[in-house]
Amino acid sequence: DSGVTQTPKHLITATGQRVTLRCSPRSGDLSVYWYQQSLDQGLQFLIQYYNGEERAKGNILERFSAQQFPDLHSELNLSSLELGDSALYFCASSPTGVANTEAFFGQGTRLTVV
Amino acid sequence: AQSVTQLGSHVSVSEGALVLLRCNYSSSVPPYLFWYVQYPNQGLQLLLKYTTGATLVKGINGFEAEFKKSETSFHLTKPSAHMSDAAEYFCAVTLSGSARQLTFGSGTQLTVLP
């Protein structure tokens, strides 16, 4: 158990809908990262938050947004969903945003868009 | 920009045989390198990491990797495979001093044959 909690574990929704994925980082970790794992794109970094502020952006679509709340949990919002958004979405956390610190990954949320 | 290439999307070894999973990176600055393992329906677990210093890095479960700057490689090895090593392995890179955005390779599925 990495200490990172993601909910829900599975989500099935229709095209055009909007969903929210939730992540609770390890106790004391200030940084949260979101990654998408799909068959065709592999594992891709989406976005990072550090202590409530956006720190870095990767290949995140405009239809997607995220935020980190004062209690440090984070939410990833996916809207106008398309079939191609079906993927495993991972959240990771680390104590800081520094590159050489370990990131701990949650078990992921598997999103299926039908 | 950085990138990672994992040679061989599938590797099969016999139980007790040497495990060698290949990873080559491309980076314009000194990189931080990681190997993660993903068991079915699980998140990513850190096996080992290279930041600075000793180029031979030992990780969990008997795995080790050697950073070879001249070859831009960070291959993962284990002297004797165990059935429990069957999983998908990802090599990842992030740039020193950068916000922690991991760039992952495409992964290598390791099968251990009895």
Angle value at C-alpha B39, between B50 and A26, nearest 5 degrees: 65
Does the pLDDT at position B39 exceed 80? yes
CA distances from A43 to A3, B58, B80 (A): 21, 24, 28
Residue A103: which pLDDT band, with cuts at 50, 70 and 90? confident
Flag if B101 and A101 touch (Cβ within 8 Å).
no
Q: Are B43 and A106 in contact, with CB atoms under 8 Å apart?
A: yes
How high is the pLDDT of residue B94?
Answer: 85
Does the pLDDT at position B27 exceed 90? no
User: Considering only alpha carbons, which residue of chain B is nearest residue A91?
Assistant: B43
Residues of A within 8 A of B42 (CB-CB) are: 107
Reduced to 3 states (helix: H, G, I; strand: E, B; else coil), residue B35 is: strand
Q: Are A64 and A44 in contact, with CB atoms under 8 Å apart?
A: no
Pairing of strands B87-95, B64-68: unpaired
Average pLDDT over residues B39-43: 86
As beta bridge partners, residue A87 has: A111
Backbone phi, then psi, for A71, in 5-degree steps? Answer: -85, 5
Residues of A within 8 A of B106 (CB-CB) are: 42
Q: Nearest CB to A103: which of B96, B102, B103?
A: B102
Flag if B43 and A58 touch (Cβ within 8 Å).
no
How high is the pLDDT of residue B60?
Answer: 94
Does the pLDDT at position A1 exceed 70? yes
